[in-house]
Amino acid sequence: MIEPIAAWAPSIMIGFDPFSLIALVAVVLIGLPHGAFDGAVALALGYGKTLKLMLGFILVYIAIAAFVVAFWMIFADIALILFLMISVVHFGIGDSQSGRWLARTTQTIAHGGLVVVGISILHRSEVEPIFVHLVGSETALVWQFLNIASLGLIVVLIMYLAQAFVLPSLRIRFFELVGLALIYYFLPPLVGFALYFCGVHSVRHLRYTWVRLRLQAYGVRTLVLLACLFTVMSWMAGLIIFWQMPTTEALDGAILRIIFIGLAALTVPHMLLVDGIFRRIR
């Protein structure tokens, strides 16, 4: 029998500062809806031709998200590592520019790796309680992965610097990364992540998706309605899970798990749809 997350997660309080709390709210209200255009993307891919196809898409999307949550409940540390890995790829693809394979791969790992691996390594003492709440147990395996990944990230960043020195087209994004690195270093981890997730990744993704959907002559009203529908559905799912948690559960820990495990559950189908299919037909 699979136990609910609240049954095995610690009930200690993390003690967020006000800025970290605001950052979590921003992730939910601003960052999370950036994937709400997935319904419109499905429409553009042909799933909206019939009601049956669209319902099938929604059911598969929900099934994948549910599988991610179930997998996390059973193999939490492995699930967290996999989530960190796919986040590096997803964030990095969104920040990379079109070009040769080596340059784009370097950008993908550098940009995605810095926000995921960089923040974790730079703020290990602050990130550790978050990871403990997310896995509900020992986090040694997660940190082993991050320590190895940080070494690879250093090599990639050196390669990125060399490529930016040779290729002027890479310099703007490289200096963007330098600025973000300073933000990640000086700000609390959740604040740095929220600024990137809401102010860079979400904005860039929404602009990319909006332009390509509008090129296919979809009306603004249709796109907005579908986005609102998916956003409300994700918020309602989070509220239902939060309502089902026992009253003895620490509030900040419960919120952390709902937000980040929810992000993982939504990221997998979102990434399969957008990065796996939609970007390939642009």
Range of the domain at 109: 72-281
Residue 3 pLDDT greater than 50, yes or no: no
**Total domain count for the chain?**
1
Most confident of 65-69, 120-124, 265-269, 277-281: 120-124
Judged by average pLDDT, the poorest of 31-45, 111-125, 238-252, 256-270 is 238-252
DSSP string, 193-224: HHHHIIIIIHHHHHHHHHHHHHHTT--HHHHH
* pLDDT, averaged across the chain: 83
Is there a domain that residue 97 lies in?
A: yes
140: which residues sit within 8 A by CB, 6+ positions away?
A: none
- Average pLDDT on 203-218 reads 74
Helices first, then strands: H and E counts in the chain: 14, 0
Q: What is the pTM of this model?
A: 0.84
Any domain includes 62: no
Q: Is residue 260 part of a domain?
A: yes
Is 11 inside a domain boundary?
Answer: no
pLDDT digits (tens, 9 = 90+) for 67-93: 998 899 899 999 999 999 999 999 999
Q: What is the Cα–Cα distance from 151 to 156, expressed in whole angstroms? A: 9
Question: Is 134 within a domain?
Answer: yes
Q: Which of 12-21, 149-158, 165-174 has the lowest mean pLDDT?
A: 12-21
The CA–CA distances, whole Å, from 223 to 37, 43, 156 equal 7, 10, 38
Mean pLDDT of 269-273: 86
